[in-house]
Amino acid sequence: MLNVDLHCHSHVSDGVLSPTDLARRAKANGVDVWALTDHDEVGGIAEARQAAAEIGLRFVAGVEISITWAGKTVHIVGLGIDEKNEVLLQGLASVRGGRDGRGREIAAQLAGVGIPDAYEGALKYADNPELIGRAHFARYIVELGVKDSVSEVFRHFLVEGKPGFVPHRWATLEQAVSWIRAASGRAVIAHPGRYPFDDLAFDALLDAFRQLGGEGIEVVTGSHTPDQYALYARVAQQSGMLASRGSDFHGPTESRVDLGSLPPLPANVLPVWHDWAM
């Protein structure tokens, strides 16, 4: 059985490793097919593809697009994209455009609870200032010694109802799916178990996604529990969605799940890679 890992982040967005180091780590961990899916950016794809080719690792170009749906942030992964497509590139640039102002507001809130200079602090961790995000703020808060780990930070800061949370309008669902399709990619709802939707709202998201041409959902991801693997396998099967698998690896000391180390997809689903030539 192929070890397929179709979700992770490099330092081009909010991961810790370079695309080259991720490719090598994936290979060392036994991954056969690997996608890089940086947030709202495809700037790491060329390096990732080259590094993967050099070590005989099959590479899939990807991206994880931030959207706002029903007032909440949802992530849509695009797989097998043409990263040079102008529609996609312009769309991603428009999403990134909002991050700087949001980052400054996050910093202002953190200053109010005694965490100074957080914009500058977070920026040190952001390889690309355009992509400044909550993971970079979290690393700075750990650096200050306010909390011991990034996951601890996300229990006390940066999330809804806590200091450092700034509601933000990302792309729309329609935009994200249309950009991915314009770039010949396959759209997949990332980590569906992480959203604060009830069944009715989630079904509405799935319906809207399907009607726009969305094709899959992540079933086995670093964000799901084993119960959720089974739950979202059923959802995929019943809704006719393809199923994806991805660690969502961000870095060796931060991520619970390493590249290529998740269990395989349940048998009752159709993998998102079922018709890929490989």
Binding site for ligand AMP (CB under 6 A): 14, 39, 66, 133-135, 150-151, 154, 250
CA angle 152, 161, 104 (to 5 degrees): 80
Nearest distance from C-beta of residue 247 to Mn ion, angstroms: 9
Token pair for 113: 């609870």
- Residue closer to Mn ion by CB (options 126, 183) is 126
Which residues, at least 6 apart from 227, have a Cβ–Cβ distance to it below 8 Å? Answer: none
Pick what 66 binds: Mn ion, ligand AMP, none; C-beta below 5 to 8 Å, kind-dependent: ligand AMP
Query: What are residue 39's phi and psi, to 5 degrees?
Result: -65, 120
Residue at shortest CB range from ligand AMP: 133
Token pair for 128: 């690309």
Place of tokens 């178990």: 193
Residue 190 contacts Mn ion per CB under 5 A: yes
- Residue closer to ligand AMP by CB (options 32, 105) is 105
**DSSP strands (E only) in 135-207:** 186-189
Pick what 134 binds: ligand AMP, Mn ion, none; C-beta below 5 to 8 Å, kind-dependent: ligand AMP
DSSP tally for the chain: helices H, then strands E? 10, 7
- Residue closer to ligand AMP by CB (options 134, 245) is 134
- Residue closer to ligand AMP by CB (options 13, 178) is 13
Beta-sheet pairing, 72-79 with 58-69: antiparallel
Pick what 190 binds: ligand AMP, Mn ion, none; C-beta below 5 to 8 Å, kind-dependent: Mn ion
**Among 41-49, 56-64, 121-129, 228-236, the segment contacting Mn ion (CB under 5 A):** 56-64
CA angle 163, 115, 68 (to 5 degrees): 35
**Among 22-30, 62-70, 120-128, 200-208, the segment contacting Mn ion (CB under 5 A):** 62-70
